[in-house]
A and B are shown apart, each in its own frame.
Chain A
Amino acid sequence: MGPIYAEIELINAGDIALERKNYIDQDEIKKIRLDMLVDTGAYNLCINEEIQAQLQLPFIEKRSAYTADNRLIEMDVVGPVIVKFKNRTTSCLAMVFPGNSEPLLGAIPLEDMDVLIHPLRQELIVNPDHPYQAVMTLK
């Protein structure tokens, strides 16, 4: 029993737009594949400064967030970033932790990708009710 990790690919969404307009080549799109802690207690995608240095996501704003011990800390928000897991994709902003802190896959991207934590195996899985594409509720 322990924490749940998933193999996730993060891609600089701005680079994809530039590649589509032929400003950069496909191999210049900044991306990273990493094991992320699946954290249903966190709202957002959280990366660290080392990942941010590789992806070079544009700065959006400063935002304050409460930590587990109720301390308010100020963090950079960057993005947009494309998040890929198996046959699922979403795009979102990311909050940047200092240094080499553990990156977190929070509840908003999890919900948007229509993925679940398998209750016995404790691993991230594509929602078995919707195996081929994510299904959302719009209303």
Chain B
Amino acid sequence: MSIIKTPLLFVGSKGEKHLYTLYDSGANLSCIHPDVLEGLESPVLLGRPRLVGKASEGHYIEVSQRVSLDFYMDDILLSDEFLVIPGLSEDAIIGAATMQKWRIKLDFEHDTAIVDPKVAKMQLV
């Protein structure tokens, strides 16, 4: 009930892992915990560190790395960039931009997230 958190298969150049992933419309961008990147993918440094605001006014987390990852929802391949957030409360967070990019629909009644396979179809037309 309520928040939607599911195990997703993440795939990087070093390997793949199932990570418990929170669907969080309150987060602009998707995020990942640095500890889960071992054996998955190497992060790259941001040109300049960013300050990411937290829920409580005046509190920020400094972010200096990002990583590009593929992930699977219902066997559908999706991909996006994730900010690497030290001390993140979850393994990974799918933020609002990723949800909009892939038109991910949250179903609170069944505690699940749904992606339309037509949206994820790869094409170069």
The total of chain B residues at the interface (CB under 8 A) is 36
The B interface, classified by DSSP as helix, strand, loop or mixed, is: loop
Bound-complex Cα distance A100 to B100 (A): 28
Residues in B with CB closer than 8 Å to A53 are none
**Shortest distance in angstroms between B116's beta carbon and chain A's nearest beta carbon?**
8
Separation in Å of the A83 CB from the closest CB of chain B?
A: 14
| Interface stretch (choices B10-18, B38-46, B70-78, B82-90) | B82-90
A1 and B100 alpha carbons, distance in the complex (Å): 7
Interface residues of A in 74-128 (CB under 8 A from B): 97-102, 104, 106-108, 110-111, 114, 116-117, 119-120, 122
- Given A70-B87, A97-B56, A40–B26 Cβ distance below 8 Å? yes
A137 within 8 A of B: yes
Q: Does A46 sit within 8 A of B, measured CB to CB? A: yes
Knowing A40-B4, A101-B55, A108-B2, say if A120 contacts B103 (CB, 8 Å): yes
Whether the Cβ atoms of B55 and A102 lie closer than 8 Å is yes
- B56 and A3 contacting across the interface, CB-CB below 8 Å: no
Of listed B55, B56, B59, B96, residue having the most chain A CB within 10 A: B55
In the complex, the answer to whether B85 meets A69 with C-beta atoms within 8 Å is yes
Residues of B within 8 A of A38 (CB): 25-26
- B-side residues, CB < 8 A to A, are 1-4, 22-28, 54-59, 61, 85-89, 93, 96-97, 99-101, 103-106, 108-109, 116
| Interface pairs (8), CB distance under 8 Å | A38-B26, A39-B25, A39-B55, A41-B24, A67-B55, A100-B57, A107-B108, A111-B108
B100 / chain A contacts, CB cutoff of 8 Å: 1, 119-120, 122
Apart from A42-B26, A98-B57, A104-B55, what are 16 other A-B pairs with CB-CB below 8 Å?
Answer: A1-B101, A3-B25, A3-B28, A39-B25, A41-B25, A67-B55, A67-B56, A68-B85, A68-B88, A69-B89, A106-B2, A107-B3, A110-B108, A117-B105, A119-B103, A122-B96
